[in-house]
Amino acid sequence: MLVMKKLSKVYRTENIETHALRGFDIHVREGEFVAVTGPSGSGKTTFLNIAGLLEDFTSGEYHLDGQDVRGLGDVARSRLRNEKIGFIFQSFNLIPDLNLFHNVDVPLRYRGMSRGERRERIEASLAQVGLASRMKHYPAELSGGQQQRVAIARALAGGPRLLLADEPTGNLDSQMARSVLELLEEINSRGTTILMVTHDPELAARANRNVHIIDGQVSDLVHEPVLRAAAAPATATP
C-alpha cells in the first residue's frame, strides 16, 4: 500500500540545513492500522505530510498503492491525493458557516461528481459516523467528539484507500477519544488502511503496529494482542 525506502527530507535556509527524515524506511500493508509515535520534533508530521502528498521529499523512494510518486506534477499529485487519501486533523478544520452536509460536500465538489452521487456519499458517510440526523446542524452546535466524527465523515465520503489521522483525539477528553478510536477501528475493519499520529500510548497500543520515530528515523515495534494473551502466565495445574 505504502512503501518508503531510504527516504530523506531536508529543509534548507540560507545558513542552516535541517534533516527532518533520514534513511527512512517503512512498508504499510493494505488494511493495516498503524500508530505513529515519537517525541515532538522527531519527524512524525513531516512523514505524514509526505505520505499525504502535501510535501515533496529530498531523496529516496515513495510508492503509494504501487505508483512511484517521485516526479509527479502538481495536477497528478492532487488527483492521486483526492482519489486515494483521506485526512483527519486534530483541529477538525470544519467550516463554521456551513452545515454538516455542506462541510462534507466541499472536497467532493473538487472531484467533479454529480450532485446525486455527492448526496449519496455524504448521507452514507454521516450515517456511518452516527450523525445522519444532524446533517443540517452547524459545527458550533456539536460537541468536540461529534465535530471530529464530521471530519472523519468528510474524509470517508471520498472513498479513500488510505486514511491519515494527525492527533485525531488530541482535542478530546478521554471518553470522546475512545469513541473516536473505536470508530477508526471499525473503519479499519472494513478494509481502509489507517496511519495515525498520536502521543497517547494507550491509543497507540490498540493499533496493529506501532512505528516509533526518533530523530527522523523509524523503529518498528509490533503490537500483537493475540501474542500478548498467549504470553500470559499459565494457571498452575493442581
Whole-angstrom CA distances from 22 to 57, 72, 102, 215, 233 are: 10, 22, 41, 8, 41
Beta bridge partners of 7: 24
Angle at alpha carbon of residue 69, lines to 68 and 71, rounded to 5°: 110
* C-alpha cell read off for 222: 509490533
User: What tens digit of pLDDT does each residue of 10-54 get?
Assistant: 999 888 999 999 999 999 999 999 999 999 899 999 999 999 999
Q: Which fold has domain 30-57+72-226?
A: Rossmann fold (3.40.50)
In terms of phi and psi (left: phi > 0; alpha: psi -120 to 50; beta: otherwise), the region of 44 is: alpha
Give the number of C-alpha atoms closer than 13 A to the C-alpha of residue 157, restricted to the C-beta side.
31
User: What tens digit of pLDDT does each residue of 118-133 get?
Assistant: 999 999 999 999 999 9
User: What tens digit of pLDDT does each residue of 64-81 get?
Assistant: 999 999 989 999 999 899
